[in-house]
Amino acid sequence: MKSFDAIVIGAGQAGPFLAARMVEKGMKVALIERKFLGGTCVNAGCMPTKTLVASARAAHVARNSAVYGVNIGGEIAIDMKVVRARAETVTLNARNGLIGWFAGMDGMTVISGHARFEDPKTVSVNGETLTAPRIFLNVGARPVIPDLPGINDIDYLTSTSIIHLDRLPRHLAVIGGSYIGLEFAQMYRRFGAEVSVIEHGPKLASREDEDISDAIADVLRSEGIDIHTGASDIAFARSRDGITVATDSARIDASHVLIATGRKPNTDDLGLDAAGVITDKHGYITVDDRLATNVDGIWALGDCNGHGAFTHTSYNDFEIAAANLLDGDDRKVSSRILAYALYIDPPLGRVGMTEKQARASGRKIMISTRPMSRVGRANERGETKGFMKVIADAETKKILGAAILGIEGDEVIHGIIDAMNAGTTYSALQWSVPIHPTVSELIPTLLGDLKPV
């Protein structure tokens, strides 16, 4: 049996950085990863997909260049092999950077293999047994495959496998109208494929307010994406030309099908029962406000704990654990203000409560909206789709939440994120003097238009 000061299972966006901090403190750490260093973000999520989004946007800008007085002769051609290679290069550069970083650390042992608990202090991997007083789980999540008629009879894609396509689908059917599905839908439409989005629920991006959801749908429809919401009785069958996707109200002749119906934690094969670690009904590991499980000496970080399925929340889990365990701090998950983005174009930046959540909270609230068509920078760039929206507490003057669906919305939202984290009142932010011409300069104007509801 090999002994360590700590064992980290999973090399996503929390575990490796926590392992590095512990090594800096002179600890002996084992980092176990069954596939690739970097987790979902580096290998199948943020980095490759946003690289693909950038290629798709380049194609879109080229097709519409005449509007800006730039004439490109002939049709825009897409070389999917080059597109794929570019995304893979970005992934490999990041992954290899982690490999080189860890190789230079005395005290770090990186093990490639599948770890399982033998007891609360012991795990087995590759036929060896390892023990440590502290064990951290950062095992991530994977795509959910729903049990739909005919699904096992077709060759479907997931968010992990679609990034490796090196040819353009004739017609991509996306099952699921949430964040992952919508990004791929617009991306492949811009590459030149016909695209249909099939969503069981009544609207796209169901987490958002109805006005945001409707605006997202308008953006996608304007680019020729076929959207089917409220779809039931979804079934698949092989056809002579590809795959038939049938619903209660539509029949789609697709060449490829992307299943984008959510993700589930990779916790079902860790031997958690042997350690006594409790999960909820969805398989997420139950943790307290400091990310500790019910078993002393075991923590769960990142997607597998159900407290945020984002790279930035996973990294913040590392920050919380490191601060509490290594720096004598007392940081809590409940102090985190959730923010995220939807990377369609234009992107959606979101922070805090939706309008629906704010109304349900019983607070006296104020709301302000502004169309992007009234933003100078958006007009100058010729990208006026979407709108800004902010919700505030009428009594405390604190900002409760915001949504910016529009040009650079994923960046502009950070001004509001920072204000909310600093506890600044909206009236104080209203007197800032932003740079012109920018999208962010409209935040004080947006706040100045807040009205009670």
Question: Which positions are annotated as active-site residues?
Answer: 436
Residue 157's beta-bridge partner residues? 258
Give the DSSP H or E segment for 367: strand 365-371
3-state secondary structure of 357: helix
Q: Residue holding tokens 């403190």?
A: 25
**Alpha helix (H) residue ranges in 341-431:** 355-360, 376-381, 409-422, 426-429
Distance CA 368, CA 371 (A): 10
Contacts of 70 (CB under 8 A, 6+ apart): none
Phi-psi region of 276 (alpha: psi -120 to 50; beta: other; left: phi over 0): left
**Are 405 and 383 within 8 A, CB to CB?**
no
For residue 405, give the nearest of 109, 141, 182, 159 by alpha carbon: 182
Cα 188 from chain centroid (whole Å): 18
Mind giving me the DSSP string for 268-279?
Answer: TTS-HHHHT--B
Q: Angle at CA 302, nearest 5°, toward 414 and 257?
A: 85
What sign for the dihedral angle of Cα 109, 26, 314, 146? positive
What is the SS3 string spanning 267-317?
CCCCCHHHHCCCECCCCCECCCCCCECCCCCEEECHHHHCCCCCHHHHHHH
According to DSSP, residue 285 is labeled B
Helix, strand, coil % in the chain, rounded to nearest 5: 35, 25, 40
Cα 249 from chain centroid (whole Å): 30
**Are 340 and 46 within 8 A, CB to CB?**
no
Distance CA 350, CA 368 (A): 15
Q: Which two tokens stand for residue 156?
A: 């479907």
Distance CA 430, CA 424 (A): 10
